[in-house]
Amino acid sequence: MATENASGLSDHMRGVTVTTLACVGGIVAALVSAQVFGTSAGVAQSRQPLAVLAGALFAQYPVLGLVGVDIGEFGIKDNLYVGFMTFTFWFISYAVLLSTGV
């Protein structure tokens, strides 16, 4: 039986929501990085697309609050998880876009 926390979401739905938003946030950040900075060889060595990644990380927390996840109960483990998943999906997606030259 799934237990509910203070926000009204079951533990399973909370986990699925956080994971989905972190993964989608990383992919969207990669698409925005490619659109704004391009996919040339020079951009691959630039640190500017990391600003888009940072923006995506910070933008997730208000969205999580809007969908009903209580971010006040996030610990260091939860924050590291969101950051790691967002970075990983951004890195893989942006690397594919840079490699294909889309």
CA–CA separation, 72 and 25 (whole Å): 20
CB 9 within 8 A of CB 68: yes
pLDDT reported for residue 100: 86
pLDDT digits (tens, 9 = 90+) for 2-34: 555 555 778 899 999 999 999 999 999 999 999
At residue 1, the pLDDT reads 45
- This prediction has a pTM of 0.86
Domain boundaries, the chain: 30-100
Q: What is the rounded average pLDDT of the residues 44-63?
A: 93
Q: What pLDDT is recorded for position 5? A: 58
Residue 10 forms beta bridges with which residues? Answer: 4
Predicted confidence at residue 4, as pLDDT, reads 54
